[in-house]
Amino acid sequence: MNKQDGLRIGQQQLAEAWQRTLPNTIHETDSAIVKPDEANEQTLRVTIQTAGHQMYSFDFSVRYVDSREVRVELIDVERDGRSVDERTDIIQQLIQDYTRHIHECAQTLHAVTNA
């Protein structure tokens, strides 16, 4: 990442902006928690919890490649606090859905990350 295209916002402020914005881009019955990644100042940790009886929890790493683009990686999927097989169709569909919502949130926050 070159200096001109780097993030111009602190990691804590970025996490707070994501925490305010992401709930508006995911399903209204789901919940999200966004925290700074302590190991990398360009990265956020995003946990999305599904509503209803499924009780899935998806942990993502969201790393800024530049001020506009994020790289989203799935860290773990849990159900009732236990890791589950991520290869099932329903889990893969949810992962794709949440990844899309995370990218939408990054686009929404472009004015903040590029300020």
Amino acid making up residue 105:
C
Structure tokens at 47: 């946990």
Q: Residue 17's CB: how many other CB atoms inside 10 A?
A: 19
User: Following CA atoms 1, 9, 19, 80 in sequence, which dihedral angle do they give, to the nearest 10 degrees?
Assistant: 40
For the chain, domain boundaries: 3-109
Per-residue pLDDT of the chain (115 residues; tens, 9 = 90+): 344 467 778 999 999 999 999 999 998 899 999 999 999 999 999 999 998 777 899 999 999 998 888 999 999 999 988 999 999 999 999 999 999 999 999 999 998 888 6
